[in-house]
Structure 1
Amino acid sequence: MAAATLLAVDFEVFGLVQGVFFRKYTQDQAIRLGVHGWCMNTYHRTVKGQLEGPREMVKLMKDWLKKTGSPSSRIDKVEFKNEREIQDYTFKNFSIKH
């Protein structure tokens, strides 16, 4: 049986996503789903990052970023770009960049 297809995608979340533990909750959710990658705050008051993982887990993570976020956050929109299949993980886990 072939291994599950791995997807990678870049994301950026717009809204009230800084100062509300958005990155920490994102990291916790990614770890729960087994998704690798990273996220960071931007100077534009957004959170951006990359996701890598099995197609279904990346889909669940994308849905979480669009609809859930951290309890105090307000998500106005999420942009996903450069979605592609990858052969192997680029990242060992999911980290928060500073």
Structure 2
Amino acid sequence: MAPADKSKPGIMACDYEIHANLPKQALELFALAQAQLLGIRGYIVREAADVYKGQLQGEGKLIEQFKHLVGTAGEYVAAIKEFSIKNLKPIQKYTYETFEIRKPK
């Protein structure tokens, strides 16, 4: 097995869930802006009045930075009850082109 290339950070993927009491599109638009700034790919979808879910793809440190930015944003910090990351795993290549807001099914 060849040694890992340390010059190129690995791509990680994870599912996430945010419980927050915010106006309808406020968190979605904020998450979109932060993901675009960080270069993270994936999506966010509003599952219920106070539950958002999605997937993130990017360097592990950027995923952590995204979680920190969303969880500590001044205007949202009191409204966000929980931000959990699940199923964090390395992936070989991106499956999303960008970060997008999806409509609930």
Q: Tell me the TM-score range normalised by the shorter chain.
A: 0.7 to 0.9
Task: Note if contact 1:17-1:47 (Cα within 8 Å) is conserved in structure 2.
Answer: no
The alignment-based identity, stated in percent, is 25
Higher mean C-alpha deviation, range 58-67 or range 88-97 = 58-67
Aligned pair 1:59/2:42, yes or no? no
Q: Count residues with an aligned counterpart.
A: 97
1:68 equivalent in structure 2:
73
1:15 equivalent in structure 2:
20
TM-score (structure 1 length as normaliser): 0.87
84, 87, 92: which is aligned to 1:87? 92
TM-score (structure 2 length as normaliser): 0.82
Which structure 2 segments of 5+ residues have no match?
A: none
29, 36, 44: which is aligned to 1:31? 36
Of structures 1 and 2, the larger Rg is shown by 2
Which structure 1 segments of 5+ residues have no match?
A: none
Structure-2 change in CA distance of 1:72 and 1:26 (3 Å): same
Secondary structure in 1 aligned to 2:69? helix
